[in-house]
Amino acid sequence: MKIGLLDSGVGGLSVLREVHRLLPGAELHYLGDSAWCPYGTKSPGLICERVFAIADHLLAEGAGILVIACNSATIHAVGALRATYPIPVVGMEPAVKPAAELTRSGVIGVLATEASIAGEKFHQLVHTHANGVRVITRPCPRFVELVEAGQLTGPEVETAVDEAVSPLLETGADVIVLGCTHYPFLRPVIEERLPAGTLVVDTGPAVARRVSALLAPDLSSSPVGSLHIETTGSLGILESLLPRLLPGIEATCATLPIGGPPPSGS
Ligand code: DGL
């Protein structure tokens, strides 16, 4: 069965690599909305509109499971997607629950987009799973820009990481949640700059386990895996990023300008 994955750009490839690691025989079809990236500063209405346009394409191409490899899109659209499509829709949310279980200081730091942090679903998540724990949130739009530009290391990344993480550490946070799928690509730099004993959590591996559970009965029928990656943005940029984002993984690539370019200023 084909697995369709979507994100605002290349961030969701951090989820795809976990799915591919766990299910090397799976047929994966990824569509990143890089032309409209970032979603983190867009309205819930516009995020939903884009996500439905992209999901429609993945379903038309035969996806039997849809993975929303984007926290912002999950928070604002997963309910509507599940109510609309006749296939399993796997979403992802910042890992507040595991972080609240892991913290010893009683303070967790959540790095996520502005859209995710403002979402009702995020507030419910904190209310339900972080009782008695202090949750400090912080949007990092610069991380998304850096990853979309393929810049995963170097002084600019280090400065951006320090700016985002230092205020969290000052509050006593000892667990940092990577609540946006672009951020795991910066995880090596983030970890390097955290004090010893600070934990980092990311939802990607849990999403891969969920997909694996849904797919289990079907796997025996698809022994050879395949990976097709599409972007609404530039094919040249996508092809230049892949060796850095998915080293050693072979994929076919294409560009598909769904809905055209965004109006300027959106
Ligand atoms: N990767 C996305 C997420 O997980 C959104 C990043 C963005 O487009 O702002 O929320």
Is 171 a residue whose pLDDT tops 60?
yes
Q: What is the pTM of this model?
A: 0.96
| Domain annotation covers residue 263 | no
Distance 204 CA to ligand 1 centre (A): 13
- Please tell me the total count of domains within the chain: 2
Domain that holds residue 13: 2-92+205-255
Q: In this structure, what CATH number is given to the domain that contains residue 81?
A: 3.40.50.1860
Q: Which of 18, 42, 181, 183 to mutate to test the pocket of ligand 1 (most atoms within 8 A of CB)?
A: 181
Between CA 160 and CA 11 the distance in angstroms is 17
CB under 8 A, 24+ apart: contacts of 239-242 = 240/150, 241/10, 241/150
| Domain annotation covers residue 260 | no
Between CA 125 and CA 134 the distance in angstroms is 13
Which pLDDT band holds residue 262 (cuts at 50, 70, 90)? confident
Q: Which of 136-145, 220-229, 241-250 has the lowest mean pLDDT?
A: 220-229
Distance 109 CA to ligand 1 centre (A): 17
Asked if the peptide bond before residue 88 counts as cis, ω within 30 degrees of 0, the response is no
Same domain, 154 and 197: yes
Same domain, 71 and 126: no
Is 143 a residue whose pLDDT tops 70?
yes
pLDDT of residue 212: 95
Active site residue 253: no
Q: Which of 113, 145, 148 to mutate to test the pocket of ligand 1 (most atoms within 8 A of CB)?
A: 113
Distance 72 CA to ligand 1 centre (A): 6
pLDDT of residue 261: 83
Of the residues 178, 202, 226, the one at which a domain ends: 202
pLDDT of residue 210: 97
| Domain annotation covers residue 131 | yes
Share of the chain above pLDDT 70, in %: 97
Same domain, 109 and 74: no
Catalytic residue among 48, 140, 180, 253: 180
pLDDT of residue 219: 59
For residue range 36-86, what is the model confidence (pLDDT) as tens digits? 999 999 999 999 999 999 999 999 999 999 999 999 999 999 999 999 999
Average pLDDT, the chain: 95
Active site residue 180: yes
Q: Which residues line ligand 1 (CB under 6 A)?
A: 7-9, 11, 37-40, 70-72, 113, 116, 144, 180-182
Token pair of 109 as six digits = 């730091």
Which pLDDT band holds residue 224 (cuts at 50, 70, 90)? confident
Of the residues 185, 202, 219, the one at which a domain ends: 202
Same domain, 61 and 118: no
Distance 107 CA to ligand 1 centre (A): 24
Hey, CA dihedral for 209, 211, 217, 221, is it positive or negative?
negative
Same domain, 190 and 100: yes
Which pLDDT band holds residue 221 (cuts at 50, 70, 90)? low
Nearest CA to ligand 1 atom 2: 70
Same domain, 140 and 233: no
pLDDT of residue 110: 98
